[in-house]
A = this chain, B = another copy of it.
Amino acid sequence: MRGPASSSPAIVVAPDSFKGSASAPEAAAALARGIRRVLPDADVRLCPMADGGEGTLDAVLSRGGSRRTARVTGASGTPTDADFGVLADGATAVIETAQVVGLTDAAGAHRDVESRTTRGMGELLRKLLDAGVRQFMIGLGGSSTNDGGAGLLAALGLELLDANGVSVDASPQGLQRLAQVRAERLDPRLASARITVMSDVTNPLLGEGGATAIFGPQKGVRSDRIADVDAQIGHFAALAEQAMGREASKLAGAGAAGGLGFALQLLGGSMRSGAEVVADLIDLDTALRDAAWLITGEGRTDAQTLLGKTPLVVATRARRHSVPATLISGGIERAALQQLGPHFAGCFALPFGPASLEQCMAEAPSLLADCAEQATRLFASIAGRTA
């Protein structure tokens, strides 16, 4: 390195999580370690990223705010302690659906998907409204439910009634008896709430490309039940839309998280790419200002990465600031390299030689540091030489 300008360059470190190996903050810390071995005085800016799914809280809270817990109804109906975040402004909450009605809810996993409900999501929103929160950033993804968001809406005051005017359970099972929906008792504070829904899913709520047909099977909807469940949710959605005087079932992303995308959009929420929202929340653009280089990363890279996954979102923002963005990945599908190439200032993988997936995962943090170190050596040699 020559000259003081190049020996303390600003380097942004903005990886996604390496699932099963390192959270995004852990990955960012490891990458920073590697960078500092070469450039001890570098201004390393840690911006752990997420895509709105699991890890979003970790990423967002690494930049400030506080992590809190609320006891709400889990997907299976038993109480669960759900983590959420409140940003430094005290008025913005960050919620991971997976924390509330996620696949990791062990009790929920045992119960049939047709009896699972998103009621806990509505309960959490209500508690937050009580606490004065009016801005909600809700990450979908990792849900175990397929109730069309009926549970969330019911917990917020939407009345789901049978032919006799008796409440039905806000689950696919309960919705079989649904005859009318009334919106009069919906929480009035929702009118002043601003809901941002983080999801990369673009499926509508119903039909062939809908929540039940596409995501139902992996949640346990039996193939011979798909048509019936889809019809029940369709019936609920039509009544809910009528009661609310608004349509949402055909919107892109209505089919996300078993229909939570529908329910939240019916409440006026707007869908955005999770990584874009997280990038805003952690203020990636400010970190990129005057930066010399950026390293992003993810556990596995293939052509899907180009469909707006975290590293692409990060690289696109970097490009806007004329900052070269290098990708360090747990593994890169070589067939995708040709398409990935133009987006990144180099795509590098973790293994330093023949290795098994288990080895790579077990050693991910130290591999991340080593890999970042090597990329930094190339960066520093060239930057120092031509500066």
Contact = CB atoms under 8 A, between A and B. Distances in A.
Contact of A378 (B353, B356, B359, B379): B379
A171 interface: no
B331 A293 contact: no
A375 interface: yes
B326 A352 contact: no
B352 A334 contact: yes
Interface string A344-363: 11111111111111011000
A151 B141 CA distance: 76
Contacts of A341: 37-38, 373-374, 377
A248 interface: no
A91 interface: no
A118 to B, nearest CB: 36
Contacts of A381: 324, 326, 345-346
Nearest to A300: B353
Contacts of A387: 386
A385 interface: yes
Given A352-B331, A355-B351, A345 B37 contact: no
Given A334-B370, A352-B334, A370-B334, A346 B386 contact: no
Interface string A108-138: 0000000000000000000000000000000
A282 B329 CA distance: 37
A204 interface: no
Contacts of A334: 352, 366-367, 370
A264 B269 CA distance: 84
A332 B292 CA distance: 28
A379 B385 CA distance: 11
A125 B300 CA distance: 57
Contacts of A300: 353
A337 interface: yes
Interface string A319-347: 00010101001111110010001001111
A149 to B, nearest CB: 37
Given A346-B374, A378-B379, A332 B353 contact: yes
25 contacts: A6-B386, A37-B341, A324-B382, A326-B381, A331-B352, A333-B352, A334-B352, A337-B370, A337-B373, A341-B373, A341-B377, A345-B378, A345-B380, A345-B382, A346-B377, A347-B374, A349-B351, A349-B353, A350-B353, A351-B354, A351-B355, A353-B360, A354-B359, A354-B360, A378-B378
Given A337-B352, A351-B353, A386-B387, 9 more contacts: A292-B385, A300-B353, A324-B382, A324-B385, A333-B353, A345-B378, A345-B381, A378-B378, A383-B386
